[in-house]
Structure 1
Amino acid sequence: MTDLNNSSNGGDARRPDDASGHDDWEAFLNDHAGELEDVERSRTAKRFDRHARREEKKTMLTADDLSDEAFTGAGHGPRDYTSSWLDTDDVLDHHGMGFSAPNPSLKGIRVSKLICAAILAIGVVGIIVAACLPHIVGIVGLIAALCVLVGAGGLIAQHEGRDVIHDDDSDNGARV
């Protein structure tokens, strides 16, 4: 049994030929047939058999085991671009386009919208102050609530909606 691991033969480990190995195995099975039958009938062996049958019934292969290429033939769709978004600077430099920071023009904002936004902000701050200081909640809360209503109402009344078309030169069609 330990012939292959026995180093007492000068390190010359020899495997028996297939014919003699087969004969040895048959002789072992014949010598220990009664013991092997006892092991085969044991509770542990039966439990192992049940476990092995259950494992055989389980799914051998799931969709998670397969790569995406098995379903889609990867490399043929718009999302199959393998480059990272982190190499954007390299792409821009390669094509001669530099990065230009956005510089929006604020000259199209009406003064009335700024005033309504400021009144709304003052109202929100006033409500927070009124909530923190209970002894002045009556007057400050009332004034702050009126500011919120007037500011929000003014902004809603001045809202132009989605269907407004801007035809000036600075309009590139992007809606953010």
Structure 2
Amino acid sequence: MTQHKNSNDDDKLQNEAKSIGDADQTDSQSWQNFMAAHSEDFKDIESSSTAKRFKRKIQRESKTAALTVKDLPQSSFTDSNSRYGRGPRDFTSSWLDTDTIMDQESPFVPPNPSFDKPSASFILYSVLAIIGIIGLVSALFVHPLPTFLGPLAALCTLLGISGLIYSRQDFHQRKDPDDDGARV
């Protein structure tokens, strides 16, 4: 490869020829001196046809919109199923945030209702219904049993379910005299 030609001999920089008086000038003063020295050249450049064409082009560009509707995809106006919400109520946080929210203290106390002990008839009818259903299923899969087990399991199922339904007729959750039936 060819090396760049060094036009500065003896490693001297071109700007080293400053006088001692120039060292006291600030950058703005140096710039003002440069502008004054080359003002004729800048006026020629400013009045050139290329500069005028450039100014007209900049004015036209500034009048056009930076972003038009056609530049945006249609989904930015109509896609309601996007991953990110469109408004403050559409925003949903990550499911990982539920731990911190659930760990915060809350005035909510879950209800702890008192249940009555189940009656003997309820337990009897529940056991009959469960035995009957298990017997019907086993009668389907065990070949020699359906003639004897089928009718017996069907009778247990009918008695158990009908007894459970009948025992629920007088069921009340609360027996308070001021209970009007309203539930929250």
Q: TM bucket by the smaller chain?
A: 0.3 to 0.5
TM-score, normalised on structure 2? Answer: 0.41
